[in-house]
Structures are given as C-alpha cells and as structure tokens.
C-alpha cells in the first residue's frame, strides 16, 4: 500500500549521465519532497552540445553553454566519476570506488564525453581550438554529418579567408536527413569556397601533421584538422552489468513505451543511449526526461503503473546552423535553407532557452558574449 504524506520515506533515485537528458531530469526531480537523488557524471558540468561549434570560433560563447552541475542543482548530491557497474542488490559502482544504492535508476549516458573533467579545462580547450583555427590558413574537417557541416559553416562565416576542406566517407552530406538537405548544404558550402570531398575517408594512421592520406590514396594538405565523426555510444560500461542482455546489437538500451529498460521495473533509460526509433536529438532527449520524471513521480506516489506516460517516437526534424545567420531546416519532408530557419537557431543556438529550462538566466549580463534577445527563440518548440 502507498505510504502517506509526510510519513513517506524518500526514494533513492540515481541518475547516471549529466548530459542533455540527465540534467533536465535532475532539475525536474530537484527538491521534490519524495526524491533523494544522486547524479553521477563523468564531468562536473553540463555542456550544451549544440553550442560547441560556435564556441570553437568564439570561445567566450562557452561561458553560457558549459554549466557546472551545481549552478542549476544547488545543494544536490553530485558525484563526478564514471559509473562502472550495477549489481543485483541495486547499487551503482564508480571508478573512485563508491557504491550508491538506488530504489530507481535512470541511465542517461548518451555518448562518451570529451576528455575534460572540469569546466575550466573545457573552456581552455575551446580557447585552444580557436587559436588553432585562427593560426591556420587551411583547415581539414573530417565528417560531413551535422557536426562537420556546422563547423565548416562557423569557420567560413567568421574566417572567410581560410581554405576549408571537408572530407566525408558517405556519398552525400547530412545523411541522417533527406537527400535535398544534403544537396542544399553542399551548395551552401561550395558557394563559400569550401572544398567538399565525398566518398572518401581519412586514414589518420598513415597521415602526418599537414599531410592527410585519403582512402583512395590521395594526399590532402592542411595546416590542421578537426575530426567531426560520431562519438561512441556511452553504453560500453553496461556490458559487465546486469543490463548487458538489455543492449541491442548497436549497443543501445532496449526500452518499452514508458522508457523502462526491458526486463526491469525500476530502471529507466533516456536520451541517445536508448533504442527509441527516432533521430538522436537533444530536444527529444529532453522529452524523454520529462516522461520519465512523470513516471517516477507516479510510481513513487503509489500510482497505478498502467497510468504511466507512454513516449511516442517523433518524426524527423532537424535544424543545422550555417554560421551566425543561416540554417538548414528539415521538418518532415520539407527542407528550407537560409535566413528564415537561421532566425530560429543560428544567433543564440537555443542556449538561452536551454538555460531557462534549467532555471538559469538565459543571457546573464556577467557572462554576455554578445547581446541577444532569446524570448522569440524560446517560443519555438524544438532545439
Ligand atoms: C556537435 C553537436 C551538435 C548537436 N546539435 C544538436 C541540435 O542542434 N539539436 C538537437 O536536438 N540535438 C543536437 N545534437 C544532439 C544532442 O546533443 C544529443 O541528442 C544529446 O546530447 C543527447 O543527450 P543525452 O543526455 O542522451 O546524452 P549526452 O548529452 O551525450 O550526455 C551523456 C552524459 O553521460 C556522461 N557519461 C557517459 N558515460 C558515463 C559513465 N559511464 N558514467 C558517468 N557518466 C557518463 C557523459 O559525460 C555525458 O555527460 C548535437 C550533438 C552534437 C555532438
């Protein structure tokens, strides 16, 4: 029977992964009277991933998009460490040797993070990327997905004199969305003198600084390079745990419609680590977080499991920024490029909106890199 009112013992919720999904989930659970939650994250901060490429050409932009977990979760229990195990007694173990018990566990380990554990290291890394771009005449970008295309867009807009080459192993850019999107992005980049090489990869083992060997034996010369290929899914640590059998062949956690890991009543998964059949996107990771927050509240308050919220996979929608003013939007089957989609994303990259969702000021004066009005952007429902 459900425990009542003030007598109710707080339930221990452990959230592993403080990225886009985990951070919003924790914010939603923070200070809720029925939860006692702990966040375990490899790093001490949340990084708003879609601001990363702007921060490489304008490092001060990262002061708003790299946010220490304690800023939006004051007083919360936060452990900066890798989770390495889950045992059958309901405990998560970490690299620093801690065992944290849970009544409910949420896995939100999307992708393996970058190497920086602290916010100050991450800000320094953006400074170093900026110096690298500034001091190079020619730049090689490897990967023609959204990250590579957005980085090329940022560089050609802020540094139009640089020679930018983009090498992509696929037959077209932006393969995660429709063909027209790839064609429009290619036209936009080539109109700004980006040299795009399709159907080839770069063999880094046989390359040296300045000379890069491609899969068909050509050598590309460039002063520096940036690798923009996809990061591994953050689920390898689960292979040695009770959740191993819940991983599909591509290493994603299989979840049911309530976002519970298949076969477990008290373990949920959210964000990119799940096998939900939809594009892996931050705004969808946010939706997962809100569904699971609701379901946890219902379970903890003794509600009927049949009343849990079900998640419906979303139709494809993506906005790829192209520098500070333009963008490419792909919404269902419609593709648009230029200033209009750019007005939705490219100025502030939804940083103000994301900060507000975490209860922070969108554009605090002391962190201002440029004055920006975010209210009109925040009405848009995507990221
Ligand atoms: C450059 C770039 C641009 C993007 N642009 C957009 C965009 O414009 N719009 C959009 O909707 N989406 C965008 N995305 C996609 C979006 O960032 C992801 O869908 C989103 O980050 C997924 O959130 P997540 O919480 O599942 O995973 P992540 O944000 O990857 O967070 C995972 C967290 O788990 C931590 N972690 C991993 N393993 C462990 C472990 N063993 N123990 C403890 N912690 C661990 C990591 O450090 C990290 O903090 C972009 C992604 C990138 C890389």
pLDDT tens digits along 90-133:
999 999 999 999 999 999 999 987 779 999 999 999 999 999 99
Residues 224 and 248 in one domain: no
Residues 152 and 285 in one domain: no
Q: Is the pLDDT of residue 366 over 90?
A: no
- Where residue 126 sits, what CATH number does that domain have? 3.50.50.100
Contacts of 195 (CB under 8 A, 6+ apart): 163, 164, 165, 166
- Where residue 257 sits, what CATH number does that domain have? 3.50.50.60
Q: Is the pLDDT of residue 376 over 60?
A: no
Last residue of a domain, one of 276, 307, 338: 307
In a domain, 59, yes or no: no
Residues 299 and 219 in one domain: no
Residues 206 and 185 in one domain: yes
In a domain, 67, yes or no: no
Output the residue whose Cα is nearest ligand 1's atom 29.
19
Provide the phi-psi class of 223: left if phi over 0, else alpha when psi is between -120 and 50, else beta: alpha
Q: Which atom of ligand 1 is nearest to the CA of 350?
A: 8
Ligand 1 mean position to 121 CA, how many Å?
A: 18
Q: Is the pLDDT of residue 369 over 60?
A: no
Last residue of a domain, one of 286, 307, 328: 307
Residues 35 and 159 in one domain: no
Contacts of 146 (CB under 8 A, 6+ apart): 174, 176, 318, 320
Residues 253 and 300 in one domain: yes
Domain ranges, residue 213: 119-230+316-378
Residues 271 and 342 in one domain: no
In the block, tokens 């609701």 appear at: 294
Last residue of a domain, one of 274, 307, 340: 307
Ligand 1 mean position to 48 CA, how many Å?
A: 8
Q: How many domains does the chain have?
A: 2
Residues 134 and 279 in one domain: no
Closest among 317, 371, 377, 373 to 343, alpha carbons compared: 377
Residues 17 and 166 in one domain: no
Residues 207 and 337 in one domain: yes
Pairing type for strands 11-16 and 35-41 reads parallel
**Number of alpha carbons in the 13 Å side-chain half-sphere of residue 331:** 10
Residues 23 and 109 in one domain: yes
Residues 24 and 160 in one domain: no
Categorize the per-residue pLDDT at 303 as very low, low, confident or very high, splitting at 50, 70 and 90: very high
User: What's residue 350's pLDDT?
Assistant: 96
Ligand 1 mean position to 326 CA, how many Å?
A: 24
Ligand 1 mean position to 101 CA, how many Å?
A: 25
In testing the pocket of ligand 1, which one of 47, 49, 293 has its CB within 8 Å of the most ligand atoms?
49
In a domain, 252, yes or no: yes
Q: Is the pLDDT of residue 1 over 80?
A: no
Q: Which residues sit opposite 198 in a β-bridge? A: 168
In a domain, 151, yes or no: yes
């Amino acid at each position: 029977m459900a425990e009542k009112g003030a007598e109710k013992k707080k339930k221990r919720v452990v959230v592993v992964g403080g990225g886009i999904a985990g951070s919003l989930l924790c914010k939603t659970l923070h200070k809720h009277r029925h939860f006692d939650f702990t966040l375990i994250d490899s790093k001490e901060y949340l990084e708003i991933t879609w601001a990363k490429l702007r921060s490489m050409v304008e490092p001060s932009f990262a002061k708003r998009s790299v946010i220490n977990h304690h800023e939006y979760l004051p007083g919360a229990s936060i452990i900066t460490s890798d989770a390495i195990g889950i045992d059958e007694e309901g405990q998560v173990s970490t690299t620093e040797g801690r065992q944290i018990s849970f009544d409910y566990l949420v896995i939100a380990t999307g992708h393996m993070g970058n190497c920086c554990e602290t916010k100050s290291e991450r800000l320094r890394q953006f400074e170093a990327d900026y110096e690298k771009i500034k001091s190079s005449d020619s730049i090689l970008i490897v990967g023609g997905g959204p990250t590579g295309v957005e980085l090329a867009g940022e560089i050609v807009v802020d540094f139009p004199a640089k020679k930018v080459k983009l090498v992509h192993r696929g037959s077209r850019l932006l393969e995660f969305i429709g063909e027209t999107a790839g064609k429009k992005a290619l036209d936009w980049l080539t109109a700004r003198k980006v040299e795009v090489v399709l159907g080839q990869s770069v063999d880094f083992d046989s390359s040296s600084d300045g000379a890069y060997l491609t899969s068909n034996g050509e050598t590309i010369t460039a002063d520096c390079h940036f690798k923009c290929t996809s990061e591994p899914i953050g689920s390898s640590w689960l292979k040695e745990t009770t959740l191993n059998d819940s991983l599909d062949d591509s290493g994603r956690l299989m979840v049911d419609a309530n976002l519970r890991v298949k076969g477990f009543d008290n373990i949920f998964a959210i964000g990119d680590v799940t096998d939900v059949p939809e594009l892996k996107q931050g705004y969808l990771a946010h939706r997962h977080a809100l569904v699971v927050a609701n379901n946890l509240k219902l379970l903890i308050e003794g509600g009927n499991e049949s009343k849990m919220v079900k998640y419906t996979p979303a139709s494809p929608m993506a906005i790829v920024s192209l520098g500070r003013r333009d963008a490419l939007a792909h919404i269902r089957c419609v593709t648009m490029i230029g200033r209009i989609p750019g007005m939705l994303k490219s100025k502030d990259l939804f940083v103000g909106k994301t900060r507000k969702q975490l209860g922070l000021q969108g554009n605090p004066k002391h962190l201002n890199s440029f004055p920006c009005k975010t209210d009109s952007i925040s009405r848009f429902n995507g990221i």
